[in-house]
Structure 1
Amino acid sequence: MSDTGAEKTEEPTARRIKRSRDDGQVARSTELPAAAVMIAAVLTILMMGGVFASRLGDMLIDSFTFDRRTLDTPSLLPATFATQLLEALLLVLPVMAVTAVVAILASGVTGGYHFSMKAVAPKFSKLSPAAGFKRMFGSRAAVELLKSLAKFSLVAGVLWALVERHMVELIHLGSMDLQPALAAAGSLITHAALWLTLSLVLIALIDAPYQKWSYIKRLRMTKQEVKDEMKDMEGRPEVKQQIRRRQREMANGRMMQKVKDADVVITNPEHFAIALSYDPTADGAPILLAKGADHMAALIREEAKKHGVEMFASPQLARALYFTTDVDKPIPEALYHAVAPVIAYVFSLAQVRPGVEPMARPRPKIPPSMRFNAKGELETPVERKT
């Protein structure tokens, strides 16, 4: 049982983070998508260049100028407004499409894309006045308030600086003709949009890392919580299976490295492979360095070929060693007389030179109590005869 009063100093485990994501809690920065959308909108308008400005100017001129016949015929006004509205939608449609795509992409930068029904499900705990006051006056609410004030101050400061710098142009707009006034206003708006975009980018560069840090901080665990979670995970069947699989992989990797030190590899010749090592100077039995069946047997044979280890085909002896001897253990005494001629034969091959012939290839005799079939079952008398 975890100590709830202990200090949470440990980084969250992968399981803790996954549970948090399943509950709909992810590191999310709202400022990053806002800045990305603003950048996309400004760049799209700038890329459209004179086409956007020209069409926007024509639309504004049309909206401020009316045919007298239209004014005298009220029934024509809805059609006129509908036409102007359609032109406006067609003009901003590329900007809307680009910003929509950018908003979707930018929203997944910090927390990724994840949908959880738990996040949208109603929570009656939120109806509690105490919980509501805690959320309103908690540390997260205070940080969000300070962030909003800083954002407002920065944006307001930028706008005030722009207005103060271009005050003369703004005052003269009212005395200019329509087309020059629209051109001047468009230039001022573009200038303001660029500075506002830079402001939002600055805010996003601060907010995105903070949100990620804050998210990890909220998920931190006590030392006891980490221990409890590790115990819980180790007790789950799928985790145990994964641990055993990794242990087998590590053991097989170490075993394969020993094949190069073997004196002989006894094969089935395809289904089993057993690597043996024997030190004539030591007073002991041959040691089984590696063994495998099917795919593992093929790997052992391949490793033996690579390092020039002699291979000896003897199906019954290979099965007997495979089913009776563990890795890094000496062979059973009952197989001494079967293995000894094989070892002697392999050593004689190393002594072959002009005028010296190797000994005849032996035919190991396996005791009845050591004769196994491919399934690891002792052979019946009928199987032995066949």
Structure 2
Amino acid sequence: MAEESGQDKTEEPTAQRLSKAREDGQIARSQELPPAAMMVVATLFFTMMGQYLFTKMGGLFKSQLNFDPRTLDKAELLPAVFGNAMVDGFLIVLPLMAVLYVIAVLSTTLAGGFIFSPHLALPKFSKLNPMSGLARMFGMDALINLGKAVAKFLVVGAILLMSIMNNLNDLTNISQMDLGEAIKVSGTIIVDACFWLSLGLVLVALVDVPLQRHQLNKKLKMTKQEVRDEMKNSEGSPEVKGQIRRRQREILENKMMGKVKDADVVITNPTHFAVALSYDPTGDGAPLLVAKGEDGLAARIREEAQAHGVYLFEAPLLARALYFTTKLDHPIPEALYHAVAQVIAYVFSLNQSYGRGHEVVKPTPSIPDEMKFDANGVLMNT
């Protein structure tokens, strides 16, 4: 009963369920990965370019602290001066901002990939339901998110506290340093803090990424009845049935083509039909039809035969008779024994006389009237 009521979701989500969820924008997206990636890149940036960046910013601050008396006498010039300073400051940090923006976009799509879903832009009135809102607030997902937030706060707080304690002497003495030395010390402190902070955020992200995937997989799990219904609907789809039939036909054709190389002769129409026969002269059975085809498939059989040195015998009436009366991997009908025996004897004679200079006369197989078919499979004597 639990299974029928849709409460017991024990089955892994199918490919169709995962595809539908992705179309609806349901993907495993970690909110902890972008800040971790951005902090790592910022740390690398400060390590390589920090001295240059801090020197430029220090020069900018120093220039702004040296006021020109002529500027002070003209208040209307002050906005332009401060505006230029803001532009200069923006240009200094622009490379870092651009890099962080790119990293934010890439890291956001890293876990779940890029997806555009119009469904996400549509309003969901179900979210206005206060009962469902309370369920979300006190549900398991909310508790997990709360736990992550507390853990992240503790990790980041501990790292920042450790960084402050490690650099406490420099922080207390920085006010007594000249501007150049203060900038250098500040840069060192910032790089150190960024390093430890990025390490902590990476640890948080390493836990959150698989957690998000696990939560999404759990959310998308299905009941046995849902799986059965999906399979029934999929198998009932004309497109799926067509794909299954095409795949089955391809498998059968490939298996059949593999037998052509071992055939003794391929009898052709010559272009529209081709049948491959195999005969064991040491056995008691009749020749077997191991491959047959029409039009394009007939051309493939001829090409396969030529590639493996199987003799092509042109006999339109016999080719059509075998094609329309004999199933694949079945012996030929008794009425065609004589005609086929003529062909096989001719092919065997050719193989035996090869290189000896003996001439072998090509036979004209005689076909019974009840075995004469036209290209449409209609008896020609009716």
TM-based fold match above 0.5: yes
Aligned positions of 1:194-273 closer than 5 A: 194-273=195-274
Query: Structure 2: how far apart are the matches of 1:245 and 1:354?
Result: 45
Contact 1:35-1:200 at 8 Å conserved across structures: yes
Contact 1:45-1:95 at 8 Å conserved across structures: no
RMSD of equivalent CA atoms: 2.5
Instruction: State the number of aligned residues.
Output: 381
Structure 1 residue aligned with 2:80: 79
1:203-245 per-position Cα deviation (integer Å, ceiling 9, x unaligned): 1111111111221121111222222211111111111111111
Q: Extract unaligned runs of 5+ from structure 2.
A: none
Give 1:312 deviation, angstroms.
1.2
Structure 2 residue aligned with 1:149: 150
Give 1:159 deviation, angstroms.
0.4
Give 1:172 deviation, angstroms.
0.9
Query: Structure 2: how far apart are the matches of 1:220 and 1:11?
Result: 5
**1:275 alignment partner, SS class:** strand
Matched, 1:18 2:27: no
Change (3 A) 1:41 1:355: closer
Q: Extract unaligned runs of 5+ from structure 1.
A: 382-386
Give 1:51 deviation, angstroms.
2.8
Aligned positions of 1:282-301 closer than 5 A: 282-301=283-302
Structure 2 residue aligned with 1:361: 362
Give 1:338 deviation, angstroms.
2.7
Contact 1:348-1:358 at 8 Å conserved across structures: no
Structure 2 residue aligned with 1:39: 40
Structure 2 residue aligned with 1:384: none
Query: Structure 2: how far apart are the matches of 1:320 and 1:104?
Result: 67
**2:292 alignment partner, SS class:** strand
Query: Structure 2: how far apart are the matches of 1:157 and 1:368?
Result: 98
Q: Out of 42-51 and 18-27, give the one that drifted further.
A: 42-51
**1:122 alignment partner, SS class:** coil
Contact 1:162-1:192 at 8 Å conserved across structures: yes
Q: Out of 110-119 and 307-316, give the one that drifted further.
A: 307-316
1:335 counterpart letter in structure 2: L
Give 1:179 deviation, angstroms.
2.5
Contact 1:351-1:358 at 8 Å conserved across structures: no
Query: Structure 2: how far apart are the matches of 1:162 and 1:49?
Result: 18
**1:276 alignment partner, SS class:** strand
Query: Structure 2: how far apart are the matches of 1:69 and 1:353?
Result: 113
Change (3 A) 1:337 1:31: same
Query: Structure 2: how far apart are the matches of 1:72 and 1:354?
Result: 116
Query: Structure 1: how far apart are the matches of 2:52 and 2:103?
Result: 22
Change (3 A) 1:116 1:226: same
Structure 2 residue aligned with 1:131: 132
Contact 2:55-2:183 at 8 Å conserved across structures: no
